[in-house]
A = this chain, B = another copy of it.
Amino acid sequence: MNNFIFNNPVKLIFGKGQISRLSEEIPDGIKIMITYGGGSIKRNGVYDKVITALKKCNSDIIEFGGIEANPDYTTLMKAVKICKDENVDMILAVGGGSIIDGTKFIALASKYKGDDPWDILIKQAQVDDAIPFGTVLTLPATSSEMNNGGVVSRRETKDKYSFGSPLTYAKFSILDPEVIYSLPKRQIANGIVDIFAHTLEQYLTFDNKAMVMDRWAEGLLLTLIELAPKITKEDRSYDDCANYMLTGTMGLNGFISMGVVQDWATHMIGHELTAQKGLDHGQTLAIVYPGTMTVMRKEKKEKLLRYADKVWNITKGKDGSKDSDAIIDAVIEKTDEFFRSVGQKTRLSEYGIGQDTIDTIVSKFKSANWNIGENGIVTPSKVREILESRL
C-alpha cells in the first residue's frame, strides 16, 4: 500500500427535505451568486426551494444560469467578471458535476492574480484564494460535490482540461435524493457509467495490496449493478435514489483511493472524444473502458481476475475453461453488456465516429507527449489500440 494523505473537509448534508437547511449554512446578509445550467431546476422545484431558503438569510442574490454540460471557459469567464465587479461573497452551485466544476473554476479564477486564468488549466498555475462556495446537487455522478477537482472545456480550441486546488472543496454540499425522481433516463445512464468508471479507475490497476479500498470499490460496483435495473426505470423508490446518490458521491471523494495506484487513462481518452465529437462524458466511458481492459489486460491481469470474481462472480471463461484470458474475455463482455443494459452504446461506429477521429486524438496525445494510466504505461500507440478496438 502506498503512503497517502487524506483530508476531505466537505460537510455532507444528505436526505429528504434537506435543501431547506441552506439557511443554516449561509451567513446572513451576504452577496451570493447562484450558478446553474439550462433551467431544469426551475421546472423541478429545486430553484424555488433554494430561493426560499436564501431569502431567510437575507441574501443579496445574483443569478448566473446557462452553464452548459462540459462547462465552457468563455461562459465561466463571464461569471468571473460579475464576481469581480460585484464583489460576490459566496457562490452556490445548484446542479450536477458540470455546474459544480464550473463553479470551482469561477471561484478560483475570480481571485487569480496572474494575467490569464487559462493558465490555471494548462499550467496548473497556483491560486492563493478562492470565493467560498456550497452546492445543492441535482444530478449525481461526478462526486464534484465532495472533491476538489474540476474539468473545463474550451470549445473554440476543442480543449478539455482538469484542475484542482485545496481551495476548491465545497464548504457544504446538500444532497436531497428526491431530485432524482425526475431525472431523464439519459442522465441516469450517463451517471451510472460515470460512477462505475470512476471506481474502476481507482481499482482496476496493478495490485497494490490495498485490501479495504479493493473491498470498498467492489462495494460501489456491486451496488451500482444491483441498482441499475431499478434506477433506470421511471418509477424509482426513495431508497434506490438515496443509495444511487450516495454511491456517486463515494465514487470520487477520496474514500476509495487511500494508498492505491490510480489509472485515469480511460477518462483522458474519453475527454478527447467529448472535445472532438461532443459526446456526453458517460457515453465516452462506456465506449472506451472495455477497450482499456482489452488492451491493458496483461498489466491489469490480477485485478481483472479479481474484478471478474468479486464483482461478476465469473471464475471461468465462456468455454468453461479456467484460463485467465478466457475469464478476462468473459468479464470484458459482461462489462460491455452492463453498459448496454443501462442504455449506452459501446462502439464508436454507433456514433458515426471512425478512423479519422482516432488519428486526430492520437496525434494530440503524441504531440503533447502524454503517457497516461498508472505509471504512464498507456502510450499514444496504446491509445490507438484502445480506440481501434472500439470501432
- Interface of A with B (CB < 8 Å)? 1-18, 209-212, 215-216, 218-220, 222-223, 226-227, 239, 242-243, 246-247, 250, 255, 258-259
As for how many copies of this chain the complex holds, the number is 2
Bound-state CA distance A219–B8 (Å) is 21
Whether B211 lies near A14 (C-beta < 8 A) is no
Complexed CA–CA distance, A389 and B2 (Å): 44
Choice from B5, B219, B243, B259 contacting A218 with Cβ under 8 Å: B219
- Do B209 and A220 touch (CB < 8 A)? no
A210→B14 CA distance, assembly (Å)? 13
Q: List 17 A-B contacts (CB under 8 A).
A: A1-B246, A2-B15, A3-B14, A5-B13, A5-B14, A7-B9, A210-B243, A211-B226, A212-B219, A212-B247, A215-B220, A215-B223, A216-B216, A218-B219, A242-B259, A246-B258, A255-B255
- Quick check: B1 and A242 within 8 Å, CB to CB? yes
CB atoms of B8 and A8 under 8 A apart? yes
Q: Quick one: which of B9, B11, B18, B227 contacts A3, CB cutoff 8 A?
A: B18
Find out whether the CB atom of A9 lies under 8 angstroms from the CB atom of B9: yes
- Other-chain residue from B3, B14, B212, B247 in contact with A16 (beta carbon distance below 8 A): B3
Chain B nearest CB from A179 CB (Å) reads 14
A7 nearest CB across to chain B (Å)? 4
Q: A6-B14, A14-B258, A216-B219 are in contact. List 19 more A-B contacts (CB 8 A).
A: A1-B243, A2-B15, A3-B14, A4-B14, A4-B15, A6-B11, A6-B12, A8-B8, A9-B9, A12-B258, A15-B259, A211-B223, A211-B243, A215-B215, A215-B223, A218-B219, A246-B258, A246-B259, A255-B255
Nearest CB to that of A255 among chain B residues? B255
Residues of B within 8 A of A10 (CB): 7
With a cutoff of 8 Å between Cβ atoms, the chain B residues found around residue A209 in the complex are: 239, 242-243
Expressed in whole angstroms, the minimum distance between the Cβ of A312 and any Cβ of chain B is: 15
Chain B residues with CB below 8 A from A5, complex form: 11-14
Contacts of A212 in B (CB 8 A): 219-220, 223, 243, 246-247, 250
